[in-house]
Amino acid sequence: MPIILLWLVFAIVVGFSAAGQNRSFWLWFFIATLISPLFAWIILKIISGK
Q: Domain segments of the chain: what residues?
A: 2-48
Asked if pLDDT for residue 41 goes beyond 70, the answer is: yes
What is the rounded distance in angstroms from the CA atom of residue 7 to the CA atom of residue 44? 17
User: Please, are residues 21 and 3 in contact by the beta-carbon 8 Å criterion?
Assistant: no
Is residue 27 over pLDDT 80? Answer: yes
Measured CA to CA, the distance from residue 34 to residue 22 in angstroms comes to 21
Q: State residue 50's pLDDT score.
A: 63
Q: What is the pLDDT of residue 3?
A: 93
Over residues 13-22, the mean pLDDT reads 95
Task: Tell me what percent of the residues of the chain surpass a pLDDT of 70.
Answer: 98
